[in-house]
Amino acid sequence: MQVRGGSKMRNLLDYAMKEFGEKKALVWSGYGPSVGKAISCAEIVKRQYRNVHQFNKICYVRCEEHWDPKMEGLDPLVVNRHTPMVHILLSHEPINDNLPG
């Protein structure tokens, strides 16, 4: 489930509850301002389904922004931003304990 800033939690959770009941695993992903929303959605699913196994991955996504100058004679500006990203795997079956995270 890709969580974005404008995603409504109710819509995400309705779809996720139906899919997680039919499938073995569910992955929540969010980056930037939607990291908190992805974590909240995963916690709500864990409350509904007992005996769920969880595996987390935290990383950064590099975003490169190009800024053109408004005045002549100035150089264009390139900015690299590192935005936090989270992946949360919820599974009905046990997850490999040897994985880091």
Domain count, the chain: 1
Asked, for residue 49, whether it belongs to a domain, the answer is yes
Asked, for residue 10, whether it belongs to a domain, the answer is yes
Task: Give the C-alpha separation, 90 to 29, whole Å.
Answer: 11
Asked, for residue 98, whether it belongs to a domain, the answer is no
Give the global pTM: 0.82
Closest alpha carbon to 12 in 24, 25, 28: 28
Encode pLDDT of 83-92 as tens digits: 999 999 999 9
Asked, for residue 53, whether it belongs to a domain, the answer is yes
What's CA 38's distance to the chain center, in Å? 5
Encode pLDDT of 12-63 as tens digits: 999 999 999 889 999 999 999 999 999 999 999 999 988 899 999 999 999 9
Domain that holds residue 34: 2-91
pLDDT of res. 101:
60
CATH number at residue 8: 3.30.110.20
Asked, for residue 99, whether it belongs to a domain, the answer is no
